[in-house]
């Protein structure tokens, strides 16, 4: 077994678009009374553009995740999603995001099972001995249901923000077709799927059991996923937040099929798939908890087994309103949120410095900055939102940036010094609070 490692990549310097510079100037005025928060925002808001983004000669955009020289579909979307509102009036922002969408569609057609890609067909891989059907374009081939959902989420948001349908070409429709075919196949994983994944590195969550096919599941209508948004293997392969995300994505893709491509047959096909997945969530994805009442499970196998937890990554249970599946006032979501933000969640931690959700992907007692940002973005009250901003501000270990996980007692003990997704999600929260007037003096 050999794990491929590269030195830190020096991305070419990308001039900040005018709209992004204007946001930073606005922050200078509105956050002047909070100098540390201002510093964090000025570092984090442009971080994706300043350190991870490369404009390619073919008109596409390549966005690395930060300290890993590859582009995750999921991460790269969340790294730029906070720039989408500025795309309508800024041609440079449109070029960056439109180019990223085009590259995503190309990558989906190359391999819809893959989660991370190379800039070139250079045969670089996270692990050179993975037992799966690799391509020289693919950095890692962990099938995560949410990956393509994020790609479509960005495209839909871009369309709604700009009113421009320039991204919806034949390649885009082919990627939609590939996504639907994939999800229909993975509704019946054991009967129809060619996908296998094994990694012999001694880390059980990096590989699928049962000769790479995963543990048995029952048909539910939901879509099977090999891995979670943390890149860790699922325990029970129907991940409920990811299937919720697929339902929302199908609604968005249906709108594109109907109003852009005028393909009512394709729209009808997706409507049926959406109905099947949603029915499965409601029938199999709700657990009657003795303390919290009906809650959404994190995972199930359709045989009555459940993973009752929440993970800091998106999609997760706390992020359900952020994904758009139900609102924050949904009664089952409210129960679920209380569960996730309590010690009943095995990955919820409380310490001297902070309290919040971590992940099996990082050590025990490590809280994720992304979880705190998402808790703020989905908060029902201004008080909770401001409390999350204050906790984020106090736990950067005076680095000026967000991280992956940090110890609940000591923020100076953290993972991933350069993690652009975390910086972007924090920026999204602070900008939203700033626009709502919550951070004014």
The per-residue pLDDT for range 346-365, each reduced to its tens digit, is 999 999 999 999 999 999 99
Query: How many other CB atoms are found less than 10 A from the CB of residue 306?
Result: 21
Q: For residue 340, what pLDDT is reported?
A: 98
Query: What's the mean pLDDT when you consider all of the chain?
Result: 96
In this structure, what token pair is assigned to residue 425?
A: 């999600």
Look at residue 37 and tell me if it is in a domain. Answer: yes
The per-residue pLDDT for range 174-231, each reduced to its tens digit, is 999 999 999 999 999 999 999 999 999 999 999 999 999 999 999 999 999 999 999 9
Q: How far is CA 69 from CA 128, 270, 361, in A?
A: 15, 35, 20
Model confidence at 7, pLDDT cuts 50, 70, 90, reads very low
The per-residue pLDDT for range 100-147, each reduced to its tens digit, is 999 999 999 999 999 999 999 999 999 999 999 999 999 999 999 999
**Residue 380: partners with Cβ closer than 8 Å, 6 or more residues away:** 328, 329
Q: What's the farthest any 2 CA atoms get from each other in the chain?
A: 61
Model confidence at 3, pLDDT cuts 50, 70, 90, reads very low
- CATH number, domain of 147, equals 1.50.10.10
pTM over 0.85: yes
The per-residue pLDDT for range 385-419, each reduced to its tens digit, is 999 999 999 999 999 999 999 999 999 999 999 99
Domain that holds residue 249: 18-435
Look at residue 430 and tell me if it is in a domain. Answer: yes
Model confidence at 5, pLDDT cuts 50, 70, 90, reads very low
Q: For residue 13, what pLDDT is reported?
A: 76
Look at residue 290 and tell me if it is in a domain. Answer: yes
Look at residue 61 and tell me if it is in a domain. Answer: yes
Model confidence at 28, pLDDT cuts 50, 70, 90, reads very high
CA angle (341, 346, 349) in 5-degree steps: 60
Closest to 38 (Cα-Cα) out of 50, 48, 20, 24: 24
Look at residue 441 and tell me if it is in a domain. Answer: no
Q: For residue 9, what pLDDT is reported?
A: 59
Look at residue 247 and tell me if it is in a domain. Answer: yes
Model confidence at 424, pLDDT cuts 50, 70, 90, reads very high
Domain count, the chain: 1
Look at residue 4 and tell me if it is in a domain. Answer: no
Burial of 185 (0-12, 13-18, 19+ CB in 10 A): middle
Q: For residue 430, what pLDDT is reported?
A: 98
Q: For residue 14, what pLDDT is reported?
A: 87
Half-sphere exposure of 127 (CA within 13 A, CB side): 17
Look at residue 301 and tell me if it is in a domain. Answer: yes
**d(Cα 223, Cα 372) in Å, to the nearest integer?**
28
Q: Which residues pair with 289 in a beta bridge?
A: 293
């Amino acid at each position: 077994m050999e794990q491929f490692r590269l030195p830190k990549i020096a991305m070419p310097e990308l001039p900040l678009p005018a709209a992004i510079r204007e946001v930073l100037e606005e922050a200078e005025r509105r956050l002047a009374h909070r100098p540390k928060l201002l510093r964090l925002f000025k570092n984090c808001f442009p971080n994706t553009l300043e350190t991870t983004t490369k404009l390619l000669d073919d008109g596409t955009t390549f966005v690395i995740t930060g300290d890993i020289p590859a582009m995750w579909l999921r991460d790269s979307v969340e790294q730029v999603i906070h720039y989408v509102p500025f795309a309508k009036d800024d041609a440079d922002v449109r070029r960056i995001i439109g180019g990223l969408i085009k590259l995503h569609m190309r990558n989906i057609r190359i391999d819809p099972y893959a989660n991370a890609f190379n800039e070139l067909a250079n045969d670089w891989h996270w692990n050179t001995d993975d037992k799966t059907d690799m391509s020289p374009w693919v950095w890692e081939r962990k099938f995560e249901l949410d990956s393509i959902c994020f790609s479509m989420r960005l495209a839909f948001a871009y369309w709604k923000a700009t009113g421009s349908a320039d991204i919806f070409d034949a390649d885009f429709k082919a990627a939609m077709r590939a996504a639907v075919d994939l999800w229909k196949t993975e509704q019946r994983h054991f009967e129809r799927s060619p996908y296998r994944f094994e990694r012999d590195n001694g880390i059980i969550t990096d590989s699928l059991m049962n000769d790479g096919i995963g543990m048995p599941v029952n048909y539910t209508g939901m879509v099977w996923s090999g891995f979670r948004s943390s890149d860790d293997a699922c325990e029970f392969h129907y991940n409920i937040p990811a299937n919720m995300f697929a339902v929302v994505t199908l609604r968005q893709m249906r709108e594109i099929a109907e109003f852009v491509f005028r393909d009512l047959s394709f729209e009808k096909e997706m409507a049926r798939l959406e109905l099947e997945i949603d029915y499965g969530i409601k029938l199999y994805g709700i657990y009657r908890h003795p303390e919290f009442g009906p809650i959404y499970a994190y995972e199930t196998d359709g045989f009555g087994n459940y993973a009752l937890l929440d993970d800091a990554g998106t999609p997760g249970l706390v992020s359900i309103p952020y994904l758009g599946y139900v609102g924050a006032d949904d009664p089952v979501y409210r129960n679920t949120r209380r569960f996730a933000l309590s010690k009943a969640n095995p990955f919820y931690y409380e310490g001297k410095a902070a309290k919040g959700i971590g992940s099996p992907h990082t050590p025990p007692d490590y809280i994720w900055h992304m979880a705190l940002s998402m808790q703020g973005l989905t908060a029902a009250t201004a008080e909770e939102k401001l409390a999350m901003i204050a906790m984020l501000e106090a736990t950067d270990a005076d680095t000026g940036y967000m991280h992956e996980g940090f110890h609940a007692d000591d923020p100076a003990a953290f993972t991933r010094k350069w993690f652009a997704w975390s910086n972007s999600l924090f920026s999204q929260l602070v900008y939203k609070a700033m626009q709502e007037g919550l951070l004014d003096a």
